[in-house]
Each structure stands twice: as structure tokens, then as C-alpha cells.
Amino acid sequence: MKNKWLVIAALSGFFCIAFGAFAAHELEKSLTAKALAWIDTGLKYQFFHTVALMVLAVLQLHLKAETDRVINGIGLTWSFGILLFSGSLYALALGAAKSVAWLTPIGGTLFLMGWAMLAYRSYKNKS
């Protein structure tokens, strides 16, 4: 895989558009306003971090840093943040057990960790 973060960003972006359209046209008929708000919040955070992953992929290519552990760590934390934060909100909206809610703050923490790692990597950048 040439640039895994670009592939993940592309798949995540595809999902955002497909699930967002499905929610707007089909789920709107059967879900509560609260459930739709959870989906909306999940989609916003997922799309924002999808764009961030695309920028990370370009940064990695620009720096020729395919093996940079910090950049790869950022990509991992954001990717798992999307899965846990947005995924738990989607699951809750679609009727999953309320115990799934404990995944949401873990995903949010992963988002924060990724941003902190980006700040660290930017500060330590020699070029």
C-alpha cells in the first residue's frame, strides 16, 4: 500500500457521504431527533478527521516519511478515534446497548492524542 492514510481517508470519506445520505433520506423517517443528532455529530467528527488524514497523507509524502513513527501514530490515533467516537454514536443511534457509550470518550481522547502528537512532530521537525 503506497500511502495507507490516503486509502483510509478515501474509504472514510466514502462512508461519510454514503451513510450521511442514507441517514438523511431513509433513517430520518424512523429515528428520533436525538438519534439523528448523534449521527450528525459522528459524521462531523468523522469528516473533519478524514480531511485531517488526507492532509497527513500529503505531509507524509512531502516529508518522505513513510516510516515516521509519530506520523504513523497520528494516523492510527485518528483512525481509531473515528472508529470509536463516530462508530459508537452511529451504533447508539441505531439502537445498540447504552454500554456502547463508554467508547465515545475513548475515541475523543484518541482524537486529542493525535492532535497533540501532530503538535509535537511539528515542534520537533528539523526542516
**6-30: per-residue pLDDT in tens?**
999 999 999 999 999 999 999 989 9
Give the pLDDT confidence score for residue 76 in this predicted structure.
97
- Name the residue type at position 120: Y
**28-61: per-residue pLDDT in tens?**
899 999 999 999 999 999 999 999 999 999 988 8
* Average pLDDT value over all residues in the chain: 93
* Residue 125 CB coordination number (10 Å): 11
Chain centroid to Cα 90, Å, comes to 13
Q: Full-prediction pTM beyond 0.85? A: yes
Give the pLDDT confidence score for residue 61 in this predicted structure.
86
Q: What's the angle, vertex CA 17, arms to CA 107 and CA 100, rounded to 5? A: 30
